């Protein structure tokens, strides 16, 4: 009798067990394929056993998360409800959808890894918010991979749906007893919980626990993409990616003191106890305040700049760099445009959480250059060729000082429109017209000009450049076109009346394809930076510089004498003698670079120190110095503290 009752209860689970095993096979095969693709990097760290064994552990946890809740529901359903056709179809839909989701994410993984060196994570989710732009990019930039992913995912859905319906028909017909089913449900709840946690320790399994090398690409191979995405979503929803949780706590007083010591200003410069980094710096330009134009170049890393040792794709930038103040060792703070915006437009430190452009407590009253300059009577306009709602730029800018936004809909007759909006030439032409008009009206202006042509699928006008390579729509050709458009803009600007009264910054938001074999691929954070203007003397600056130093320097060069909460340094200050430093956020890893020493902080792992080997451009481990660790740790925590406590703002009397 007991055996028959038990058999009736377990019969309901047979389809779910079958799909559990199918999912395990699918994830294992995908991991094997990715591992073979990255076999050289895995062999370098002797990581085959870690990738495969820990991978099986992650797959079991993921399948428990997806299917054990369904199994418990199935066991607890009354016989009559379980036997109903609608119930059977619902169970079949869950099984088919779960399997299709796993397959679709694994199919999308190679393309994402090729771009970012990681499995799908929070960046993947952020892009899903903008289906129009992403769909256009995929269809035009990766048509074959997109088609294969869609076709195979649809095929998997159809096949698993039919298989699930058939397996439901072969399951128990609803005559099982409730007591054995309840006992089995309790057992499954315990086993499923253990499977998801995958440990008896205090903390459940997480990606940091599975990391075993300094190579971030290898570290994500034991994961599967569903698990990676689910973990990122959990942290995103909880807003829990603060520095202290990931890197360990420091007393706030120690963080503040360390950060202040690195700002290059005297103690008397700090004027507001409730805004610890608010400092008054005397500007180097003492004349009438000048206009400011920032050209933020999409994905234009140093690898595309000939004068910085990159490919010969930048004749115009190289020519302009001989006429202005060029930085040869400038490093971006992150790998996304929103990181570049928060660094250059706001002087804000990177954090492991979302960039402040998209976070709720920074949508108004948050310091930006526009907020400060608008208070001085400037027109503050964001110039963009695409749709400004992308990455919440419109909301962030309008809430924090910008009075106008010019975007794709504001170009009545553009010469070229691609997936990401009008061409860079259309963008620059419109910006130049606005600058001429504002100057003629006697209105000081701040213009943030954000390009987009150098973005996959790399669309740009015909007959503008001699192609660097075939086919036409490649990253290198798009970078060369971006340089062409930049050159045309400065030809117009230098011939204009506003040239004499304006300081220009040309800088990349980030490099493209930031991938590497190190915990932080430092070389892929190297970007071009150039300050131009009628009174800017030509200079090649070899100091180590961070993006967050640029907005502080620009305010000094245009003659704005007002306190700001930015921690960057005024690079135009002749008395600045501190050694250069740079900050880099690569997913959840934070790097602090000073001279040739690089300290890397990673979640749930001890900090480590490296030096950058000149020949291989790889990070070589060296003993950790407490002298280097303290500023690294303090700066890694500052961004989260400043956001949580509202430190990155102007006092009420200044925030006009």
In the predicted model, is pLDDT for residue 240 greater than 60? Answer: no
Structure tokens at 155: 């095929």
Measure Cα distances from 225 to 26, 57, 119, 360 in Å.
12, 14, 6, 27
Q: Which range has the top average pLDDT, 71-80, 134-143, 225-234, 435-444? A: 435-444
Give the Cα separation of 585 and 297 in Å (integer). 19
3-state DSSP assignment of residue 587: coil
Quote the distance between the C-alpha of residue 92 and its chain's center.
37
pLDDT at 236: 67
Tell me, what's the pLDDT at 165?
86
Nearest to 208 by CA among 235, 175, 176: 235
Cβ-proximal residues to 144 (8 Å cutoff; 6+ apart), any chain: none
Average pLDDT, integer, range 132-161:
85
pLDDT at 134 over 90: no
Average pLDDT over residues 63-72: 94
The Cα–Cα gap between 600 and 180 comes to 53
pLDDT in tens, 392-438: 899 999 999 999 999 999 999 999 999 999 999 999 999 999 999 99
- Where residue 654 falls among pLDDT bands split at 50, 70, 90? low
Q: Are 353 and 390 in contact (CB under 8 A)?
A: no
Report the pLDDT averaged over residues 592-596: 92
Going by the DSSP 8-state scheme, the letter that residue 270 receives in this structure is B
Are 360 and 398 spatial neighbours (Cβ–Cβ below 8 Å)?
no
Whether residue 1 is predicted with pLDDT greater than 50 in this model: the reply is no
- The single residue listed with the structure tokens 């590497």 is 516
pLDDT one-digit tens code per residue, 173-225 = 545 778 888 888 899 999 989 999 988 876 788 887 787 887 888 889 999 99
Structure tokens at 352: 């492991």
Q: Does pLDDT of 122 surpass 80?
A: no
Neighbours of 153 (CB within 10 A): 17
Domains of the chain: 2-238 (no CATH), 288-579+641-645 (3.40.720.10)
Q: Is the pLDDT at 656 greater than 80, yes or no?
A: no
Three-class SS of 49-102? HHHHHHHHHHHHHHHHHHHHHHHHHHHHCCHHHHHCHHHHHHHHHHHHHHHHHH
| pLDDT (tens digit per residue) in 315-368 | 999 999 999 999 999 999 999 999 999 999 999 999 998 899 988 889 999 999
Whether the predicted pLDDT of 121 surpasses 70:
yes
d(CA 437, CA 636): 43
The H or E element that residue 545 is part of is strand 539-546
**Which tens digit of pLDDT belongs to each residue from 473-504?**
999 999 999 999 999 999 999 999 999 999 99
- Look up the pTM and report it: 0.84
DSSP state of 500: G
- What is the pLDDT at residue 80? 86
Cβ distance 137 to 419 under 8 Å?
yes
Q: Which residues does 648 contact at the CB level (< 8 Å), separation at least 6?
A: 277, 346, 348, 356, 362, 366, 367, 565, 642
CA 485 from centroid of its chain's CA atoms? 26
């Amino acid at each position: 009798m007991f055996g028959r009752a038990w058999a009736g209860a377990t019969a309901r689970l047979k389809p779910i067990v079958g799909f559990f095993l199918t999912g395990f096979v699918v994830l294992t095969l995908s991991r094997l394929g990715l591992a073979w693709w990255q076999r050289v990097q895995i062999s370098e760290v002797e990581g085959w056993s870690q990738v495969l064994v820990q991978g099986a552990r992650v797959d079991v946890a993921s399948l428990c998360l997806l299917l054990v809740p369904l199994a418990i529901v199935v066991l607890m359903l009354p016989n009559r409800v379980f036997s109903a056709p609608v119930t059977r179809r619902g169970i079949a839909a869950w099984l088919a959808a779960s399997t299709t989701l796993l397959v679709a994410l694994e199919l999308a993984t190679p393309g994402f890894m090729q771009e970012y060196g990681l499995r799908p994570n929070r960046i993947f989710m952020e892009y899903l918010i903008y289906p129009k732009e992403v769909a256009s990019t995929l269809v035009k930039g990766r048509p074959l991979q997109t088609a294969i992913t869609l076709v195979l995912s649809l095929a998997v859905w159809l096949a698993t749906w039919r298989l699930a319906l058939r397996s439901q028909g072969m399951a128990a017909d609803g005559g099982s007893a409730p007591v054995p089913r309840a006992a089995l449900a309790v057992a499954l709840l315990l086993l499923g919980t253990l499977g998801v946690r995958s440990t008896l320790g205090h903390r459940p399994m997480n990606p940091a626990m599975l990391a075993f090398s300094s190579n971030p690409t290898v570290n994500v191979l034991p994961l599967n993409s569903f698990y990676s995405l689910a973990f990122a979503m959990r942290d995103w929803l909880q807003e829990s990616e603060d520095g202290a949780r990931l890197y360990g706590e420091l007393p706030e007083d120690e963080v503040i003191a360390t950060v202040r010591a690195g700002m290059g200003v005297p103690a008397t410069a700090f004027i507001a106890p409730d805004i610890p980094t608010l400092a008054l710096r005397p500007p180097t330009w003492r004349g009438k305040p000048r206009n400011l134009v920032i050209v933020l170049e999409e994905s234009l890393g140093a690898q595309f700049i000939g004068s910085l040792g990159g490919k010969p794709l930048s004749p115009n930038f190289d020519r302009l760099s001989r006429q202005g103040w060029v930085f040869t060792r400038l490093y971006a703070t992150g790998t996304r445009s929103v990181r570049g915006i928060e660094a250059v437009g706001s002087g804000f430190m990177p954090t492991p959480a979302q960039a402040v452009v998209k976070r709720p407590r920074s949508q108004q009253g948050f310091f930006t250059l526009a907020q400060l300059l608008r208070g001085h009577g400037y027109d503050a306009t964001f110039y963009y060729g695409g749709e400004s709602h992308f990455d919440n730029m419109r909301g962030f800018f309008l809430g924090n000082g910008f009075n106008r936004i010019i975007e794709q809909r504001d170009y009545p007759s553009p010469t070229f429109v691609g997936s990401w909006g009008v061409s860079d030439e259309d963008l620059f032409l419109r910006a130049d017209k606005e600058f001429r008009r504002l100057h003629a009206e006697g209105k000081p202006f701040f213009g943030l000009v954000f390009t987009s042509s150098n973005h996959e699928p790399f669309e740009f006008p015909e007959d503008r450049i001699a192609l660097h390579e075939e086919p036409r729509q490649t990253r290198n050709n798009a970078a060369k076109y971006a340089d062409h458009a930049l050159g045309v803009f400065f030809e117009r600007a230098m011939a204009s009346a506003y040239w004499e009264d304006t300081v220009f910054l040309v800088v990349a938001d980030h490099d493209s394809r930031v991938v590497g074999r190190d915990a932080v691929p430092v070389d892929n954070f190297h970007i071009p930076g150039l300050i131009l203007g009628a009174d800017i003397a030509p200079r090649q600056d070899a100091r180590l510089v961070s993006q967050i130093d640029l907005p502080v320097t620009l305010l000094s060069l245009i003659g704005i004498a007002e306190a700001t909460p930015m921690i960057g340094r005024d690079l135009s200050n002749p008395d600045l003698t501190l050694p250069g430093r740079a900050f880099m956020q690569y997913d959840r890893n934070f790097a602090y670079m000073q001279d040739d020493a690089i300290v890397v902080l990673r979640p749930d792992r001890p900090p480590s120190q490296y030096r950058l080997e000149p020949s291989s451009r790889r990070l070589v481990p060296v003993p950790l110095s407490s002298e280097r660790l303290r500023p690294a740790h303090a700066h890694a925590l500052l961004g989260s503290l400043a956001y949580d406590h509202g430190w990155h703002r102007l006092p009420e009397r200044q925030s006009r």
